[in-house]
């Protein structure tokens, strides 16, 4: 398989996650004491994608991925808004209100996710290459985790403040941020072997 084909596979996963993340982030879920948007599961997968692309193809290619992600997110939001505003079939009228109530939150989630996504991903790319300059080609695990953990905190804080301030009780907002961040950190640690495998797969 050609190297560019492998890039397109990674890009497809990256854009697919971003296209649906605002839809599933409407739902808040609980895992033990942790409360977080369901989208936190999926969003944590985007950072290893940019880290692998940064490692193999460099900073500029990774930034282009981020910009394409913004386009995918906006297109998904436009399609959702059209679905909400379109008149329903008569027999489906009773379902339209709950549909609109849930998916009507998507514009606010879009704003939150775009701001958080942009600053989180751009910081991740910058930090990844900062640590790569410090360590050279060694210690991929170190730059992967250090860049991701700080970027995830920035992203998680911005997203939850913009998306849920005033929507959830103020006392629960820090729990929401910390719950989502803790989950993302755990995923970041667990995905380190995956990053190594992907880098090896692309180079092979």
Mean pLDDT of 108-128: 86
pLDDT at site 105: 66
pLDDT over 90 (residue 8): yes
Residue range 150-155: mean pLDDT, rounded: 90
Question: What digits encode the pLDDT tens for the residues 37-56?
Answer: 888 888 778 888 988 999 99
Residue 144 has which token pair? Answer: 């992967």
Q: Tell me, yes or no, if the pTM score tops 0.85.
A: no
Residue 34 Rama label (left phi>0; alpha psi -120 to 50; beta): beta
Cα separation, 12 vs 155, in Å, equals: 22
pLDDT at 16 over 80: yes
Residues 148/56, Cβ–Cβ less than 8 Å: no
DSSP state of 171: G
Specify whether the backbone of 139 is left (phi greater than 0), alpha (psi in -120 to 50) or beta.
left
Residue 106 has pLDDT above 70, yes or no: no
Report the number of distinct structural domains present in the chain.
1
64-67: long-range contacts, CB 8 A cutoff, minimum separation 24: 65/11, 65/14, 66/117, 66/118, 66/121, 66/122, 66/125
d(CA 186, CA 191): 9
Range of the domain at 77: 3-203
Residue of 48, 24, 49, 50 whose CA lies nearest to 190: 48
Q: What is the pLDDT of residue 27?
A: 83
Q: Cβ neighbours of residue 168 under 8 Å, at least 6 residues apart?
A: 28, 176
Average pLDDT of the residues in 149-168: 87
Q: Can you tell me whether residue 168 is helix, strand or coil? A: strand
3-state secondary structure of 45: coil
């Amino acid at each position: 398989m050609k190297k560019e084909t492998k890039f397109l596979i990674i890009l497809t996963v990256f854009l697919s996650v971003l296209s649906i993340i605002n839809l599933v982030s409407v739902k808040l879920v609980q895992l033990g004491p942790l409360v977080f948007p369901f989208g936190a599961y999926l969003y944590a997968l985007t950072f290893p994608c940019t880290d692998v692309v940064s490692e193999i193809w460099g900073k500029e290619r990774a930034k282009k991925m981020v910009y394409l992600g913004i386009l995918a997110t906006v297109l998904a939001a436009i399609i959702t808004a059209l679905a909400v505003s379109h008149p329903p079939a008569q027999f489906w009228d009773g379902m339209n209100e709950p549909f609109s109530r849930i998916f009507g939150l998507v514009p606010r989630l879009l704003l939150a996710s775009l701001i958080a996504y942009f600053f989180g991903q751009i910081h991740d790319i910058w930090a990844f290459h900062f640590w790569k300059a410090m360590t050279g080609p060694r210690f991929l695990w170190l730059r992967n985790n250090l860049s991701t953990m700080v970027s995830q905190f920035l992203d998680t804080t911005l997203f939850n403040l913009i998306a849920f301030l005033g929507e959830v009780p103020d006392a629960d907002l820090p729990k929401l941020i910390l719950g989502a961040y803790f989950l993302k950190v755990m995923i970041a640690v667990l995905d380190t072997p995956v990053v190594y495998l992907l880098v090896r797969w692309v180079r092979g």
